[in-house]
Structure formats: structure tokens, C-alpha cells
Amino acid sequence: EKEIATLKVWELQEISLQAVTKVLSVQKEKALSVLRDISQNFPSVARSLVKIHVEPELKREIVWNQNQFYQNLNLATSDTALFINGLYHDMDSVDVFTLLDAMKHEYYTVSKLHTLLNGDQDRIKKLNAAWERGQQQQLDFQIDIRDASVLYINDIENDRMYRSWPSSLQEMLRPTYPGILRNIRRNMYHLVLIIDPSRKESFDMLRMAESFYIHKAPVRIGLVFDVNNNQTITGYQDAGVACLEAYNYISQQKSPYEALSFITDVIAYATSQSVRDLEPDDIVNHFKSKISKSEADDVFGEDSSYDIGRKLSRDFLDRTGLEHGPKAMMNGVLLKDTHLQADYFEEAVLSEIMRQSSQFQKAIYKAEVTDDDDILEW
């Protein structure tokens, strides 16, 4: 076989840019196959690549792209990430079948939209412009979640399970692999779910919240119970109210996480045959079986001392204009309603964390926020 020629170190200084130039120089239909050939046969094609001239405009464009990726997505040079229509997919956990399902879903959505627009380029341009304005408004819009109605499951700064984590914000400036969340003992990321736990639309979010806690994701999880505000309705009559009362009782007697776990257990048991909304008997009977039969009337009956938070939650929803759940917020930034299902919720949360991480990093680097500051106040 022909021996591969040896290259000098100085000849390899711009070889990655020369490879990009090669890919961009071919017809767009062939670009992907050329990229594949270069990556799979790099030693044999390197000699031809080093002879390619790189335009200064390309260098400036790549530097600009690198800055944008780092500032907005926390992606450093040579990091790898995968996005489908802006939705982040973790390269370490995603598989080809998950990607295929995501592509099918996106194709279905886009094809329906294309049918509605009927290929009218003027309408498409107007829609794109409206979408870009909406994206900018979404980035600027943030809800104040410093409210007593938010019931937190965990406290990263004080809970024992996070005690081994470093507490300095300077850890945010250390390099790490793309898509990896930094474990810092600070309440930096607040995931607040506005839910009626008895409604099936909330089930996936509750399961994912429990999964985040179990796997020690660096996220503080809070719940706002969007349940019946009629104070004459008891837990025996309304499943949402029963969930709230059971949650309050178990939180006080045991821990907020065990209260969340109780609700997800009820959901799993009640929906084992088919997915449906919970009924009051589902919560009450499970409470009698697993927690306390003798305390059931005190918890779910009239004048229950555990019927706390309904008015606070309603005031919060009215004040913020959210009206009703299910909703999810990351540090007050609303996630899209279409991302609240199980297939997309985790990726949407991770994408928003990545976006906000770059903001934290810039603020920490510029000393705008320090270890003495309350992140939520900042």
C-alpha cells in the first residue's frame, strides 16, 4: 500500500479550517458525504487538505460562531452538541431511535404548518419574523418566583445529600464536557412546576421532578398547587385538594420528598391499567394504607389543619397572569407548553439550564455575583 506522507506540525495549524473549506466548496447535496469521508479517512486526505487556502472571512465567521455558542450554550471550542429545531439532545444518552422519533414529530409539526401556509413565501417570512420577536420577548420575560406559594422539595445549600459538593461559584468557570451539569452546592437553578397533581397532564412532570431529585440533579424543585380554591370543598370531594392535604401532612411528618413520592406512587397505582385523572378515593385509600388510617379524617375532612396554600397559590397565579397549570419555569423563565410531555421535558430543562449557565458564568467572571450573594435575589 502507498505510504502516508509525514506532515510537519506547522502544516497542521489550520487543517480544521481547511477541512471546513473543503466541505463548503462542494455542492450542498454532497457536503455531508464529504464530511463523512474526511472524518473517516483523515490520515489519507490530510496531505490534500493542507494545500487548501482558507479565506479570512471564514476565519472571522467561525470565531463569531464560537463566541455565540459559548455565550449562549456554554459550548467551548471542539465541544459537540446536537439540536433538532433548537431542542437539545444529550449525546451521551440519546440513541438513533430517540432521534428518529424526534425527527418524525418535528416533521409532522412542520408539514402541518407548511400546509396551512400553502407555500406562500411572504406569509412564511412574516411568520419567521413574528417567531423571532416572540423568542426575544420570551428571553426577556421572567416571573418572580420568590413567593410563599412555592413549596420546595429540596434545598441544595442545606440538605445533607449535597454536602460533598463544592460551594464556590468559581466552580462554574472550570471547564467541563458539554451537556454535563456542574454540581455546586448553591441554589442556582429553580425548577418550579405549577400543577394540579390529580390531572393526568401533570403526571409526566411529577415523575421527572422525582427523577431529578433521585439522581441528584443540581436543580431546586418547587411545586405550586393549582387546585380547587373553593374553601368549602374538602379532600374527600376533590382529588387535587386531597393531594395538597396529603402533601402538607407528609411534608410535616416526614419530608417534602417523601410527600412527592407519595403522590407519584398514587399516580402509578391508580393508572396501572389506563391513564386517567385521579379520584379522591385514590389518594385517601392510599393514605390510609401507607401512611395513617387514623389520621385520614384530620387530613382530608372539614377544618383540616393541612388544608394550607390554596389561596396563596391562587393569588400567585392571578398576580403573574398564568391562570392555570400545568406550567414549568426555570428561574422564572417559562418553558414551552409543548415541552411539558415526558419525551421533551427533560431536554427542555437541560437546554434552559445550559442557556442560563452562560449568563451565570459571565456574571461570576465579571464579579457581578459572588459567593456572598443570594442567586435568587440576583
Report pLDDT digits (tens) over 48-82. 898 899 999 999 999 888 888 877 776 777 778 88
CB 249 within 8 A of CB 304: no
Residues forming beta bridges with residue 195, ordered by sequence position: 225
For the chain, give the mean pLDDT: 88
Q: Mean pLDDT: which of 81-90, 120-129, 358-367 is highest?
A: 358-367
- The predicted pLDDT at position 325 comes to 86
> Residues 194-223: what's their mean pLDDT?
96
Local confidence band at 141 (pLDDT 50, 70, 90 cut-offs):
low
CB-count burial class (<10 Å; 0-12, 13-18, 19+) for 267: buried
pTM to 2 decimals?
0.67
In sign, the C-alpha dihedral spanning 264, 270, 276, 279 is negative
Is the pLDDT confidence value at 91 over 80? no
The residue with cell 450554550 is 73
Q: Using CA atoms, how far apart are residues 79 and 279, in angstroms rounded to an integer?
A: 48
Is the pLDDT confidence value at 93 over 90? no
- The predicted pLDDT at position 354 comes to 86
Q: Using CA atoms, how far apart are residues 313 and 182, in angstroms rounded to an integer?
A: 32
| Stronger pLDDT, 109 or 32, i.e. the higher one | 32
Local confidence band at 290 (pLDDT 50, 70, 90 cut-offs):
very high
Inter-helix orientation angle 203-214/342-365, to 10°: 50
Is the pLDDT confidence value at 318 over 60? yes
> Residues 25-54: what's their mean pLDDT?
90
Local confidence band at 324 (pLDDT 50, 70, 90 cut-offs):
confident
- The predicted pLDDT at position 296 comes to 94
